[in-house]
Structure 1
Amino acid sequence: MKRTTLALLGLVSLAACAQAPQGAAADAAGSQAATAQAPAPAPKAAPRPDTPEGRALAALRELDPNIEPDRLRAAPIPGFREAIVSGQTLYVSDDGRYVFIPGVNGALFDIRQQKNLSEASLASLRRELLQEIPKSERIVFAPPDPKYTVTVFTDVECGYCRKLHQEIAEYNRQGIAIEYLAFPRMGLGSEDYRKMVAVWCAPDRRRALTDAKNDRPVPVRECKTTVNQQYALGQRVGLTGTPMILAPDGTQLGGYVPPRQLRERLDKLAQGGAGAGAP
């Protein structure tokens, strides 16, 4: 099974990773003996393969042979079936080719091509939008001859941004250049924002950024910067948290990704791999 499919299954099974409330867990433990004797529910009759429900079920089982929807019926969207799997609602086209997962990070998948169509469209837009920020406004940490260059929206306060920066030398050893853009996650006008403006106004931005991420003081400065523009750009490219790593083609590679793993994802993307994007 290809990685694109596995990524989709990861979205489907998010609810299964949530920890049950303590009260519910206690109730479950207390009733274990009683429920152990409960008869298993009768298996549901499988829909005929030549029906929209049958094709939808077959499509879902291409993703996971063990999928057993709790509900499968006509959707409010014409041409789709609605499936509920482990508390997650999915929409499958009546021909069994497309699966749509709604939500904040919703996506439309083409099962036949093993492709996330939503991410492909957004990646194309990101690539165009990133060109609005000139190279001179990025803070760059790069090896002499980088194999890959990624854009990272960063914040000076967030823990994973700091962790990524602590490993900047290893990213460079992996042949990866990091081009930082500012995204003060506390918003414009915040203390976080003022620190990032001071970094971008510093005569040595690389040193100032490293100092800020290590709680060393950065002299307060004001100058004409594109920090506001970078912040707005982050919102336009779909940023929901920092750091955000983007490949040259606009594909989102994740938040914090360890150096070796990031190199592997970039290699797969360069080879046309379907699973190089964020999980």
Structure 2
Amino acid sequence: MKLLLPAMLIASFSLTACAQAPAPDAQRDADATAASGPAPASRLHVDPASADGRAVEAIRKINPRVEVDAVGAAPIEGFREVIVSGQVLYVSDDGRYLLQGSLFDIEQRRDLSEVGLAKVRRALLAEVPESDRIVFGPPAPTYTVTVFTDVECGYCRKLHQEIDEYNRQGIAIQYVAFPRMGPASEDFRTMEAVWCAEDRKQALTDAKAGKTVPSRRCTNPVAMHYELGQRIGLSGTPLIIAEDGTQLPGYMPPAALRAALDDLAKNNGSAAATIGG
């Protein structure tokens, strides 16, 4: 089994439309310096002597600076499921062995790895209040999706050009920022200007149309959104996430997105009915 260590702890979404740009040399140097520093304080608290604790410790032996978002029993006996940067890893209960990749249940025809990932995405996105998002939606939406967006990405612009049709399909789009060129970029500063504008919706529309958005500084959530995207494992934009935490392909035409959300709702309803007996 080929493992990319420690780079394996940074997930890659193949379905997103615009790839994240490589970090500039200065940013890479800063990352390398940070990697040699002390490990960050963990938000996850587990008993070090437990199987969960051994799994977390095994991951930190690979990369002491990584932050584990979730750990718990895996669907396969003898392993713990660990979620890091939008990626699922399976660590043996004794902390010795690690498996990387999706776990597919052939009988149920389900990707069991996606179940844990969806829970983590949902929990992380719950930390972002609606006031920190830019929302385009009908008065009473049937569905609401979170979209990590960039003002320079071609498919992000295409999605926004069709925003009225998404709304007509009953879909509310809640944008969060992911300037894929990174914190030191003009792209990042433009998105800060958008989130600091008096009319954020118009500023975002202007920026995606290639118009200049007047520079403005304020306390804004762009850096927090960017960090959140990295924790989720985002590597490109747009990234669409349904209310239950399910990741959808990067760009979908309005009718296709509505159909996908209808299918997801139906499948979730069937699963709930099965659990309820």
- Paired position in structure 2 for 1:260: 255
Alignment of 1:72-221 (within 5 A): 106-221=101-216
Amino acid at match of 1:162: R
Q: Deviations over 1:220-266 (max 9, x none)?
A: 00000111110010111121210000000000011001100000000
* Residue in structure 2 matched with residue 228 of structure 1 by the alignment: 223
| Partner of residue 233, structure 2 | 238
Residue 200 of structure 1 deviates from its aligned partner by 0.2
1:22-37 matches, within 5 Å, as none
How many Å apart are 1:107 and its aligned residue? Answer: 1.5
Deviation of 1:162 after TM superposition, in Å, equals: 0.3
Report which structure shows greater RCO (CA 8 Å, sep ≥6): 2
Q: 1:146, 1:250 → 2: CA distance?
A: 18
Return the offset for 1:206.
Answer: 0.2
In 1, Cα distance between equivalents of 2:119 and 2:220: 26
Residue 203 of structure 1 aligns with an amino acid whose one-letter code is: E
CA distance 1:204–1:181, change in 2 (3 Å):
same
**Alignment partner of 2:103: what SS?**
strand
SS in 1 for 2:267: coil
Structure 2 CA distance for aligned equivalents of residues 170 and 108 of structure 1: 36
Per the TM alignment, residue 156 of structure 1 is displaced from its structure 2 partner at its CA by 0.2
CA distance in 1, matches of 2:211, 2:115: 40
For residues 190-210 of structure 1, give each alpha carbon's deviation from its aligned partner in whole angstroms, at most 9, with x where no partner exists: 100000000000000000000
Deviation at 1:273, TM superposition (A): 6.3
Quote the Cα distance in structure 2 between the aligned partners of 1:239 and 1:195.
20
Count of aligned positions = 175
Aligned residue type for 2:248 = L
Distance in 2 separating the partners of 1:144 and 1:134: 19
Counterpart CA distance in 2 for 1:165 and 1:130 is 21
Partner of 1:181: helix, strand, or coil? strand
The offset of 1:118, in angstroms, is 1.2
Q: What CA deviation, in whole Å up to 9, does each residue of 1:154-206 have, x standing for no partner?
A: 00000000000000000000000000000000001210000000000000000
Tell me which residue corresponds to 2:11: none
Structure showing greater radius of gyration is 1
The corresponding residue for 1:5 is none
* Structure 2: distance between partners of 1:217 and 1:157: 12
CA distance in 2, matches of 1:231, 1:138: 13
Cα distance in 1 for partners of 2:145, 2:204 equals: 17
Instruction: Name the structure 1 match of 2:267.
Output: 272
In structure 2, give the amino acid aligned to 1:150: V
Identity value in percent = 65
Q: CA deviation at 1:111?
A: 0.9
- CA RMSD of the aligned region, Å? 2.1
